[in-house]
Amino acid sequence: MLRYVSRMLVLILVASLVLAVPLAAQDEGYVLRYPISPDPEHLNPFTATTIAIGTVMRNIYENLLGLDAPTGEFYPQLAESWEISDDQLTYTFNLRQGVLFHDTGAVEFADGDREFKSSDWVCAAQHSVTEDETQSAHPEWLESVVGYEEFLAGEAEAIAGIEAPDDYTLSITLTTPNRLFLTTLGVPGIPCEAIEQLGEDLGTNPVGTGPFQFVEWQRDNFVQLDANPDYYEEGKPTLAGVRFINVPDANTALLQYRENQLDFLFGFPTGQRLAIMEEFDAEYNEIPGLNVRYFGFKMDQGFFAENPLVRQAFSHAFNRELVWDELMEGARFPATLGYLPPSMPASTPANIYEYNPERAAELLVEAGFPNGEGLPEFSLWVFSSAADELSLPVLQEDLRQLGVTLNIELEDATTYWDHIGEDDVLMFLSGWSAGLEDPSDVFNFLFLEARDDTAYDNPEVNDLLRQAMSEYDEAARNELYQQAHDLITADAPWIVSAYSKVSWLQKDWLENFNPGGGGTYTARLADVIVNSDMLPE
């Protein structure tokens, strides 16, 4: 009884906090109530690696170009136009004039000048190129630029291939053609003063140029953004602000959505998906997704790195169809092909790990562990918000049938993503959301030169992916990706679990919420419109 009462008290307290944001559009406008879980680890664009961080930050910071999530096309953002030289080596960006940084009080601007200029971008670019992961986790943004290697090694004071001839022009020269350069160019528009003055506080005092500006962050409660009054895009945003509300679990979120305390529902409680789809039929939305869910093995050290046949056995042992088609009520598509979303080119590799417990048992015999004899107990690390995912007990039971003991270790997301990169974690749950229907948007981030937490590093795969970056012929490029996919799946660095569906509930007074296959967080909130005539009394 005590546990029940305590839980109800938590729900009441959470609901009261949400109700502090009014439903009806007042004179000052409508504040969007957007659920998130877990809480962002920080709001530093240079060290951002999780969806929780990106969900908030994409509304605060902007890049030279924006990427339209539904279409995959680039559009002008901080650069109002751009040109690429005939040899595909030099990119010239013409910056938008009169763009102002947010006036949050966190940064003191030189001479009071808040205008974004080319020198700010150069400052941010150089800050991103470092081997110090506490400063930047994204040196890859500029790795194809002339002078990158010398600057990274500390042998040059500037990146030679980046020039700013005036306040509103940037010129970037590459060492070799790279068809993906614009896709990976993630350097944010941030004032030099913020980098210089804030230091470690950059992650709690974001200052950008985006349609919304940072106001307040109550940890594990909410992040409040207000509309940027100086935003350069006329008429946007129409919202007065966005409150990203940290909802502790899917059942609480559903309760709050029913009570009109949230504008969206992005996750459905286990076992209630079909009932919710029926209850909210007019508010249910679904599009094919570009996320891949997987259980990763450490490939650079430890037991799994030394035992490829065991990795393959585990992949054959897992009953994906049972999990996603039945137990999880179609929440995702079971990953019965390879490591790419099925809509991508080269998505069907030569090595497919269908559910086959007999083959799994044979592989354990070949590996020298018949019936699991001689195997240690294993720990699977899982972020706490996925604790109810039924893939966990199914995988646990499937492996038990082989004589394998798998222990589930839950960890809060505030430490999880750092922890799984450490040596004591040999197996972990993760996922990746691509933004484009291009194999590079998975392979280049997860399998190229040990970039992901699996630390997968196959020189032959690296060479194929590098070739594909500069291959402009689509057929030839897809053949390279096919070869890479075949090699990767043969190595079995993952137990691939599922491909996503992007599904959500949305209140009927909202318009222009348009995510892409990468997930609901890719929708541009500056485009969202509230139809005040449809708001309940």
User: Residue 14's domain is classified under what CATH number?
Assistant: 3.40.190.10
Count of structural domains, the chain? 3
Question: Closest by alpha carbon to 322, among 401, 269, 268, 394?
Answer: 394
Q: Specify whether 257 is located in the same domain as 404.
A: no
Encode pLDDT of 10-45 as tens digits.
333 334 444 445 554 444 799 999 999 889 999 999
417 falls within a domain: yes
User: If residue 288 lies in a helix (H) or strand (E), which one and from where to where?
Assistant: strand 284-297
Domain boundary residue among 147, 175, 209?
209
Q: Is 367 helix (H, G, I), strand (E, B) or coil?
A: helix
Q: Are residues 205 and 248 in the same domain?
A: no
Integer Cα distance of 90 and 510 in angstroms: 42
Within this chain, do residues 95 and 223 fall inside the same structural domain, yes or no? no
Task: Please report which confidence band the pLDDT of residue 535 belongs to, taking 50, 70 and 90 as the band edges.
Answer: very high
End-of-domain residue from the set 169, 188, 209: 209
pLDDT in the model for residue 386 = 92
Q: State the burial class of residue 458 (Cβ atoms within 10 Å of its Cβ: 0-12, 13-18, 19+).
A: buried
Q: Report yes or no on 268 lying in a domain.
A: no
Residues 218 and 247 in one domain: yes
Same domain, 130 and 84: yes
In a domain, residue 382? The reply is yes
pLDDT at 48 over 90: yes
What are the backbone dihedrals phi and psi of residue 451, each rounded to the nearest 5 degrees, phi first? -75, -30
Write down the pLDDT at residue 22.
55
Residues 393 and 519 in one domain: no
Evaluate whether residue 452 is within a structural domain.
Answer: yes
| The domain boundary residue, chosen from 175, 209, 243 | 209
Same domain for 16 and 116, yes or no, is no
> Domain holding 482: CATH number?
3.10.105.10
Query: Are 350 and 252 found together in one domain?
Result: no
Whether 217 and 186 share a structural domain: no
Task: Give residue 21's domain range.
Answer: 1-40+210-263+507-537
Does residue 475 form part of some domain? yes
Same-domain status, 196 and 321: no
Structure tokens at 487: 């090699």
- Residue 270 inside a domain? The answer is no
User: Would the pLDDT of 485 be above 60?
Assistant: yes
Res. 100: pLDDT tops 80: yes
Residues 453 and 517 in one domain: no
pLDDT bracket for residue 5 (50, 70, 90)? very low
- 319 and 447 co-located in one domain: yes
Query: How crowded is residue 317: how many other Cβ atoms within 10 Å of its Cβ?
Result: 25
pLDDT recorded at residue 50: 87
Whether residue 283 is contained in a domain is answered as: no
| 54 found inside a domain | no
